[in-house]
A and B are shown apart, each in its own frame.
Chain A
């Protein structure tokens, strides 16, 4: 079966999430999801799309023993007991810290997760966040793949209209960066479904479009 056909993957993912597949076909699709990130992504999209059908059902309170049985199965974990005055003081400091934290957060822009940049076979390399209006991005380095000394990673918007990728700048090898976007970058990113990472000469692509291998294509997350 040719799994690179997007319509076929969509069909399989939808049937899996809906639950109409037979056992063999279900298991095959689950294996496919582990091997093919695009299949996994199609499945997640359908899980999100159909979630309201689950939420349409009226919640039912579980019986009292249900949580206890989960705890028993996980194995008893000792409670911290009787730390007395010190723990009350620690709790008070924690609450104070949380309050200060919230006050600080209030003065910050509202950062939203936009994409996890990961190659197919490795843990996430970067996490991309942006402000709600896409006016500023923040990139956090996680497990950045190693590169020769004369190469660097560059981040690109893949415009929805299929036009040339537009650079969002160079990616850090470690640490976090923040970058204000131009109005043009902002509107392209706001509309984009995907971003990509390519390997470029130090200083970035000399031509304004990716010249080296594209190692990551990631979906842009937005509140649905």
Chain B
């Protein structure tokens, strides 16, 4: 029994020793301190990480990546169709986030919105740079239609926005809702949406326009 205790103490000492040699230990400590304190996508914490990126702190970029890359990759895979294309754009996006972090200070929106916009904009550039966009088939459309806004993904502060958007999306006519989801999540242009849903371009444009107007007035009321 005593021998087992000694080996247990020995093992702990080895862990402590290894920790003291580990160049990433500060990073690990920060992560440990994060646990259970706030949601990984908490806006204030992401803002702090972006400020540290602006001060050229590479560890902050890695933390930002750990927290946000899975959500950004989900968005990019939906838009681009394959993991390979999505991961290429994900890398571009994080390079841009690193390069533009100092500009975030002058932005009034949420940190995650800013990062999602950088990723989506890059994906749209890639998508429209000549490679034909996949036209979603009826089965995909059914999936898009069933997509529900679920939350909260950003702590209590954001759950109200989630609920509001969900409520307002539910109030839209089904065709308008479907067009908005195809555009935002699928990254489709008016023309591609028209092809996907088999409706004239003018009809789709007016569904999108009216859908956005209704969404805005609903979310502001």
Interface positions of A (Cβ within 8 A of B): 10-11, 14-15, 17-23, 26, 41, 44-45, 47-63, 66-67, 69-70, 73-74, 77, 79-82, 84, 88, 91, 95, 98, 116, 118, 123-124, 219, 221, 223-224
Cβ-defined contact, B165 with A52, below 8 A:
yes
Q: List 27 A-B contacts (CB under 8 A).
A: A14-B216, A15-B212, A17-B117, A19-B189, A20-B189, A20-B208, A44-B108, A44-B109, A47-B114, A47-B116, A47-B117, A50-B184, A52-B161, A53-B185, A54-B116, A55-B71, A56-B147, A57-B75, A59-B74, A61-B70, A63-B87, A67-B65, A70-B65, A81-B23, A82-B21, A91-B26, A123-B106
Interface positions of B (Cβ within 8 A of A): 20-21, 23-26, 29, 33, 41, 58, 62, 65, 69-71, 73-75, 77-78, 83, 87, 90-91, 94-95, 98, 105-110, 112-114, 116-117, 120, 124, 128, 147-151, 153-154, 157-158, 160-162, 165-166, 180-181, 183-185, 187-190, 193, 208-209, 212, 215-216, 219
**What are the 4 tightest A-B residue pairs by CB atom distance, in nearest-first order?**
A59-B70, A44-B109, A57-B74, A47-B113
Cβ-defined contact, A66 with B69, below 8 A:
yes
Total A-B pairs in contact (CB under 8 Å)?
165
Please tell me which one of the listed residues A11, A48, A49, A224 contacts residue B215 in the complex, with CB atoms under 8 A apart: A49
Q: Which residue of B lies closest to A221 (CB)?
A: B108
Cβ-defined contact, B110 with A51, below 8 A:
yes
Please tell me which one of the listed residues A48, A66, A118 contacts residue B113 in the complex, with CB atoms under 8 A apart: A48
Q: Counting chain A CB atoms within 10 Å of each CB, which of B26, B117, B165, B219 scores highest?
A: B117
Docked complex Cα distance between A40 and B218 (Å): 22
Given A47-B114, A54-B74, A70-B95; 15 other pairs, CB 8 A cutoff: A18-B212, A20-B183, A20-B208, A23-B128, A47-B110, A48-B109, A53-B181, A53-B185, A54-B116, A55-B41, A60-B73, A70-B94, A74-B58, A74-B98, A116-B105
Cβ-defined contact, A74 with B113, below 8 A:
no
Residues of B within 8 A of A79 (CB): 23-24
Cβ-defined contact, B74 with A60, below 8 A:
yes
Which secondary structure characterizes the binding site on chain A?
helix
> Closest approach, in angstroms, between the C-beta of B78 and any C-beta of chain A?
6
Docked complex Cα distance between A56 and B147 (Å): 8
